[in-house]
Amino acid sequence: MSKSYGLPGLRIGWIATRNTSIFKAMAAYKDYTTICNSAPSEFPATLALRSRSVILERNCSLIKDNLQLLEQFFTRHEERFEWLRPGGGPIAFPAFREGISASDYADRLAAKAGILILPGSCYDYDDRYFGIGFGRANFPQALRKWEEELGEGLGGAGAGSKELRL
């Protein structure tokens, strides 16, 4: 429900497997931790599933449009970032070209612009990389704000600067 339907807070999920030992282990763990799904989450999840074609069409269109904006953004800033278009889903994992710490930059970007990126160090990965989600309706506004910050504050002296600093 989280990625495709845009409903991550519902905490509804399913498992399907032919491996009975994995299924039994997962079922035992679920019984130990939660026993059952949240009843208040089951109702909106059911509504979403009944309206799946409308919701999925809307979300796929949103992701497609936002991905196009993100590709244009990284093309404009190719001197600063390494970019590989994701194969699917609403999350990308670009990197800084120069020895910029994504952890440090993420803290500054959040503090100055209110924009959140997830550093690669959170994934136990190279700290030049960062995760960025682009499945939200307000993504174009956040991307514009990020671009302004790159040119004015976080991006150095101007839009053409290779430095990423406050």
CATH code of the domain in which 74 resides? 3.90.1150.10
E strands, 23-147, in order: 81-82, 91-92, 95-96, 118-119, 130-133
Domain identity same for 111 and 64 = yes
Residue ending a domain, among 28, 52, 76, is 52
Together in a domain, 24 and 78: no
Say whether pLDDT at 51 is over 90. yes
Give every CB contact of residue 94 below 8 A, 6+ residues apart in sequence. Answer: 74, 81, 82, 83, 84, 129, 130, 132
Q: How far is CA 112 from the centre of its chain?
A: 20
Is the residue at 76 inside a domain? yes
- The answer to whether residue 59 scores a pLDDT higher than 60 is yes
The per-residue pLDDT for 153 is 53
- pLDDT value at residue 120: 94
Q: Which domain holds residue 69?
A: 57-152
Number of domains, the chain: 2
Q: Is residue 164 part of a domain?
A: no
Look at residue 2 and tell me if it is in a domain: no
Per-residue model confidence (pLDDT) at position 9: 84
Residues 41 and 65 placed together within one structural domain of the fold: no
pLDDT at 144: 93
Same domain? For 91 and 148 the reply is: yes
Residue 162 lies in a domain: no
Looking at the predicted structure, is the pLDDT value of residue 161 above 80? no
**In a shared domain, residues 112 and 35:** no
pTM over the 0.85 mark: no
135 with 89, same domain: the answer is yes
3-state secondary structure of 82: strand
Whether 84 maps to a domain, the answer reads yes
Residue 37 to residues 9, 32, 45: CA-CA distances in angstroms? 12, 13, 11
The answer on 95 and 130 residing in a single domain is yes
Q: Is residue 160 scored above 50 in pLDDT?
A: no
Of the chain, the percentage scoring pLDDT greater than 70 comes to 91
91 shares a domain with 126: yes
Which sign does the torsion angle of CA 19, 25, 30, 31 carry?
Answer: positive
pLDDT in tens, 61-72: 999 999 999 999
